[in-house]
Amino acid sequence: MNDASTHHGKQDEAVTDSNGSTTADAAPEETTQPQTDADGGGGQAAAPKPGGGDGGRGGDRRAAVLAAVALLIALIVAGLGGMGGWWVWERFQALERASDDYAERMEVAEVRERLDSLEGNLTGRVDNLAEEHSSHVRSLARAEETMRTVREQHDSAQERMDRIEELAAAHRDEWILSEAGYLYGVARYRARFHGDVSGALDALREADSLLEELGGATVDQRQAVADAINALLDVRLPDREAMAADLRALINGVDEWSLKRVERQVEPADVPRQRDAELDSLDGWRNAGLRAWEQFRDAIGSLVVVRRDDAPPRLMAPEESHYLRENLRLQLLSARAALLQGDADAYRDSLEDVGEWLDRHFDDDDDAVREARETVSRLRDADVEADMPDLGEKLPERRLPGRNNMMEGGE
């Protein structure tokens, strides 16, 4: 570009020189024309000189030079414009390549960062899995140890059971007699402490079935068991269900019983007659007035005398009568529970309280109260416990397997 500008400067100088010389050549012609006009005395103008054609050719040449210069300048400008566009296009392409490279680097960096994160998570997960695996391995080891211990204990228990079965087979008769003796004790306990005839009979019948397995060797014992069973069958049991039903009827009828009414007896009091007062003097009038006042006061104080029967019940408020009836229900319920359990003392104590409250607080003229009092008296005198036989005198003594024999068998 520097060479082209230098060349363009030289051409401009050449054109300038040419124009200057052309202008200098034409100047004498312009100065000589006035002289011709002077010589001719104002006649016609002189004919043009043959040299006038050179001037036209010079103008064409100058126009051609200018056109060439303009074309050259246009070419230079076009070349510069092309070079500038090419440079701009190159820069644009470079920027696009740089942008693409930057985007690729950013994507690579993002992918690398994501891969690093995934790698960290994967590493942590692998560590957790390794820890869990180690924990499972330890748990499995402990479970195997426990199973080994349980298996050893099971084998030991199985050995003991086998040994017990061997001993039981060796001392079968003694074990049967021992079990029968235990059933004797159950029968005695149920009959003596609970009055449970049914339970005692079940125990004795089970003992008899065990003795039957031993055959004729236990004839005497089976006879004793049969005597005990017959004695229990002869026991007459109180009808507790009927007695419990009577108590239930009393509980339901408590609200129908009428309470006693308090009666008060009013008797007039005797007022003693006083002697006539002496009214002859002032002192007599004064003494008479004092005696009259004392008599009036005494008469007012003893005018009414209230007498009560022996320890009558006081008049109850409605809420007090409600509590009385509720206490009666509780006592009757206690008596019923004691009856079903066979507790004769608690049964009779509860009915004694009920009878006392009926006599003290309820009206004797009420038919429902009289019927309830009769029922309570009848239930109180009834037998709650049956007359149980003494099974200890009838049953044989309890026998246990010989310990020495079992020890010898174990050895």
Which of 145, 170, 195 is the last residue before a domain boundary? 170
Confidence band of 297 (pLDDT split at 50, 70, 90): low
CA distances from residue 172 to 204, 210, 229, 300, 400 in whole angstroms, order as listed: 20, 11, 26, 101, 12
87 and 211 within one domain: no
Could you give phi then psi for residue 276, rounded to 5 degrees?
Answer: -65, 145
Q: What is the pLDDT of residue 220?
A: 86
242 and 380 within one domain: yes
291 and 254 within one domain: no
pLDDT tens, position by position, 318-332: 567 888 889 999 999
Which of 170, 191, 221 is the last residue before a domain boundary? 170
Which of 170, 199, 225 is the last residue before a domain boundary? 170
231 and 125 within one domain: no
Evaluate whether residue 12 is within a structural domain. Answer: no
Confidence band of 36 (pLDDT split at 50, 70, 90): very low
What's the CA gap between 92 and 83, in Å, rounded?
14
Evaluate whether residue 5 is within a structural domain. Answer: no
pLDDT tens, position by position, 217-269: 788 888 888 888 988 888 887 788 888 999 999 999 998 888 887 554 444 44
Domain coverage including residue 113: 58-170
Evaluate whether residue 329 is within a structural domain. Answer: yes
244 and 161 within one domain: no
Q: What is the mean pLDDT of residues 190-216?
A: 86
Residue 202 has pLDDT above 90, yes or no: yes
Count up the domains in the chain and report the number: 4
Evaluate whether residue 146 is within a structural domain. Answer: yes
Confidence band of 163 (pLDDT split at 50, 70, 90): confident
Q: What's the mean per-residue pLDDT of the chain? A: 75
Q: What is the pLDDT of residue 411?
A: 38
Q: How many other CB atoms are there within 10 angstroms of residue 244's CB atom?
A: 16
Evaluate whether residue 216 is within a structural domain. Answer: yes
Q: Over the range 113-131, which residues count as b (16 or more CB within 10 Å of their CB) and which as e?
A: eeeeeeeeeeeeeeeeeee
Q: Output the pTM of the full model.
A: 0.39
Q: What is the pLDDT of residue 44?
A: 41
Q: What is the pLDDT of residue 331?
A: 92
229 and 122 within one domain: no
369 and 344 within one domain: yes
290 and 363 within one domain: no
Q: Are 316 and 259 in contact (CB under 8 A)?
A: yes
Evaluate whether residue 44 is within a structural domain. Answer: no
Q: Are 66 and 18 in contact (CB under 8 A)?
A: no
Residue 300 has pLDDT above 90, yes or no: no
183, with CB counted inside 10 A (0-12, 13-18, 19+), is buried
Sign of CA dihedral 219, 225, 229, 231: positive
Tokens 């004691």 correspond to what residue? Answer: 338
Residue 100 has pLDDT above 70, yes or no: yes
Radius of gyration of the chain (CA): 75
147 and 98 within one domain: yes
What's the CA gap between 361 and 373, in Å, rounded?
12
Q: What is the mean pLDDT of residues 155-181?
A: 84
Q: What is the pLDDT of residue 24?
A: 38
Q: What is the pLDDT of residue 178?
A: 86
361 and 306 within one domain: no
Evaluate whether residue 108 is within a structural domain. Answer: yes
348 and 308 within one domain: no
Evaluate whether residue 19 is within a structural domain. Answer: no
Which string of DSSP letters, residue by residue, matches 44-92?
A: PPPPPPTTHHHHHHHHHHHHHHHHHHHHHHHHHHHHHHHHHHHHHHHHH
Within 213-263, residue ranges assigned H as helices are 219-233, 240-252
Q: Are 397 and 220 in contact (CB under 8 A)?
A: no
Q: Are 249 and 288 in contact (CB under 8 A)?
A: no
127 and 165 within one domain: yes
CA distances from residue 28 to 47, 53, 175, 240, 353 in whole angstroms, order as listed: 16, 16, 175, 178, 178
